[in-house]
Structures are given as C-alpha cells and as structure tokens.
Structure 1
C-alpha cells in the first residue's frame, strides 16, 4: 500500500513539473495516509521532476518524519491542516504556477473564458491575502484551510496556488486546469476588445460534461502515459 502511495506522489510531482509548474526545488503535492498517520509528500530540497517513489516521505500531523529520509517540507502545514479540516480531501497540491500567480496578483477574478475555468467558476476561487510568506506554522495552515473552506482551489496571492480533491489524482488535475485557465484568460485579455464568457448555467453544464469523474480519470491516465513512456 505505501509503495502505491509513494508512486502516486511521484507521478503527481512529475506531471506538475511536465506542465511547467516546477519552481526550482519549490512546490509539492501530498496524499493522505490511509492509516491516519499523516501525509505522503515530497521532501524539501528536490525539484518536482526529481521525485521518485523512493524519495517520498511520510510526515506526521506535527511535521515529524515517520518514513523516508531528508528534510521535511517547511510548508507541510498547508497539507496537514487542510486535510484536518476537510476529511473528504485525499490529496493537496501547492505550486507556484506562473500564470495563476500573475492572475491572482493582478486582483482579477477568474473568468470562464475557457473550458478549464468552468471547473472552478462558479463560485469564484477564494483568495488568501493575510500573508504572501511561506505557510510554515500550524496557525497559518489553519488560516489557509479556513480561507479555502469548501472550494477546490485557492489563490495564495503573491505566492502560489493550492488545489484539493478526493484523491491526489483529482487535486493534480485541478492544479493543471487552474494554470491553464489563467493562461487562457491572460491571452484573451491581451487582445483587448470585449471578452465573452460562459454564464453560470452554462459553466455548470460544461463542468458536468467535460470534467466528470470518468473524464478526469481518463485525463489522469493520459498524463501518466505522457511522463512514463518517454
């Protein structure tokens, strides 16, 4: 079982890197430990593209390294506190996705100008603005979890993004879709004019048609093939 989770965290990390969400050694994804011991997460000091199953750590709720080696992520409270607040969440992603960071810093709402944005909107993606510093304490992790509330994604303004899902596969897909949505919106607005976008009813319909559970699973399988068959 632990080997399967290590492989999942490794695949998530490599898929995020392949999408351009790597930031040197920063950014991380995690899966909830099925035995309730904490989270499986990449260690500090490695890039997303470097993560193999052997490098993945089991980290307790208080940041104690339970399995694996190396330094623990400073920002582990993002993951542990969200999972503590949201029992239904099985995976959490935090990256410094460049287009999503730019969109949030500009103070612009995410608009459903593309398929990808409909995964999130409506409602609007919440924005955490209490600090742009690292989320290194339990108190800050709790604040982030409160700001996320029941949403699937959160902008850490001037910092990065957080996405969640019932499993790490879904949380990873959400991170890719949020960055894709932000990139498409920036491209759309660069043309000027009067951008058009889906209304609430159409957005919800598109979300069900395009991003249902079966479709997301097939998209995940595609991404796995993409990073493992080169």
Structure 2
C-alpha cells in the first residue's frame, strides 16, 4: 500500500498538480483500518514509503511516522460512503479552483470534458474552508454521490476511482478540462460542445479502462525519470 501511495502522488506531481506541501491521495486499507496517505509536510514529488501513514477513521495514525493531514475526512468519509472506491484524490488544481468560482456548467468541448459533462459534475459549496471534520467529509461524500469527481468551491477538486489509475487520471483530466474551458471562455466561447448522446459515445470510445491505465503508466514513467 505504501508503494501505491508513492506512485499516486508522484504521478500527480508529474502532471503538474502539486501545490507545495498541500493536497493528498488516500488509498483504502485492504483490512478496513482507514486510508493510506502521505504524511503532512511533504510535497507530492517528495513522497517515499517512509513518508506514508495509515490514518484511521477517527484521525489517529495507525501505522507510520509523521503527522496526518487535517483533511483526512475527505478520504475516510468518501471511502466509507463508496464501497466501490479504492482511491480518493484531493488537489488544489489552479484551473479547477478558478473554474469552480465561475459557477458555470462544464461543457464537453473535447475528449477530457466528456467525463465531467452531460451530466454536469457535482459542486460542493457548503464552505471553502478545510474539511477537517467527519461531518463535512460525509457531506462532501453525499454531494459527490456516485460521480467520478466533484469541484470544491474556493478550494479545489476531489476524484474517486475503483483504483489508483482511475482516481489519478480523473484528477488530471478534470484539471485539463477546466483549463481548456477557461481558455475557450477567455476567447468568447465556447460555442460548440458535445451533446449528451455524443458525450456518452465518446466516454466509451475515449476512456475505457485501458486508456486511463495507459495515461497512468505514462505519468509513472515520467515521474520515475524525474526522481533518478
């Protein structure tokens, strides 16, 4: 599990989603003891197996050295609510945070966008503060529902997947989709995007598990080169 957490954080760093020492990935403990996360105070690209901790549902550090992140309930509560989810990602993507502030629908203007539009992805707007309590984590889990991702107003993004590849790639692709729509809006648009039928077809064509896994493996290769 420690190696999985390391790979997830380094892949996100390779994709440009690092934010100094903030943001985190949570991976479900196979024995139901909580979420494996990086210890607080380390950047995504700095994570190694010694900087990974197992955080219990009550916030206690069950295994590992170092402090846990304040926002552990993002992970423990989504994992509690979603038995289908093995990995939760929370980052402070600049594009996603900026896009969330506009309160406009996500449009499927390219391949990336079809994962989060038609229907539009959920938005958590209760607070832009840190989600440090089980109550706030549970409320976020309720807003996320069965979706792949959720925008956090004045905060960032959360994604949830059945494995590391899906959760990490959802975060990467949501960041890209937000950035492209921001570019289109700055140019006066968008004026064209996929309707619901085309978006559904493109999700099947463009994003089978094999393609998400291919992107995940690419990010791992880039991360490995950067840490040599």
Name the TM-score, length of structure 2 as normaliser.
0.96
**RMSD (CA atoms):** 1.1
The one of 61, 64, 68 equivalent to 1:72 is: 68
Partner residue, 2:188: 192
Q: Shift of the alpha carbon at 1:211? A: 0.6
Deviation at 1:14, TM superposition (A): 1.2
Alignment of 1:48-67 (within 5 A): 48-67=44-63
Which of residues 94, 113, 118 is equivalent to 1:117? 113
Tell me which of 182, 202, 220 is aligned to 2:198: 202
Asked if structure 1 preserves the Cα contact closer than 8 Å seen for 2:114 and 2:200, the reply is yes
Match of 2:87 among 83, 91, 96: 91
Residue 98 of structure 2 is matched in structure 1 by 102
2: CA distance between counterparts of 1:187 and 1:136?
33
- State the shift of 1:193 in Å: 4.9
- How far is the alpha carbon of 1:135 from its aligned partner? 0.3
Q: Deviations over 1:29-59 (max 9, x none)?
A: 0110111111110111111111112211111
Gaps of 5+ in 1: none
Match of 1:164 in 2: 160
- Stretches (4+) displaced over 4 A: none
Q: CA deviation at 1:122?
A: 2.0
Query: Contact between 2:13 and 2:223, CA under 8 Å: does it hold in 1?
Result: no
Greater Cα shift, 54-63 or 130-139 = 54-63
| Inter-partner Cα distance in structure 2 for 1:193 and 1:153 | 24
The 3 A distance-change label for structure 1 pair 143 and 196 is: same
What is residue 176 of structure 1 aligned with on the other side? 172
Return the alpha-carbon distance in structure 2 between the equivalents of residues 195 and 23 of structure 1: 32
Q: How many residue pairs are counted as aligned between the two chains?
A: 226
DSSP-derived class of the 1:187 partner: helix
Once residues 217 and 77 of structure 1 are traced to their aligned partners in structure 2, the CA distance between those partners, rounded to angstroms, is 27
1:85-118, Cα deviation, whole Å (9 max, x unpaired): 0011000000100001000011111111111011
Q: Deviations over 1:154-181 (max 9, x none)?
A: 1110011000000122100000000000
Give the unaligned 5+ runs of structure 2. none
Q: Is the 8 A contact 2:109 2:190 kept in 1?
A: no
Secondary structure at the counterpart of residue 229 of structure 1: helix
SS of equivalent residue, structure 1 residue 215? helix
Match for residue 153 of structure 1? 149
Q: 188-197 or 163-172, which moves further after superposition?
A: 188-197
Q: Distance between the aligned counterparts of 1:24 and 1:152, measured in 2?
A: 25
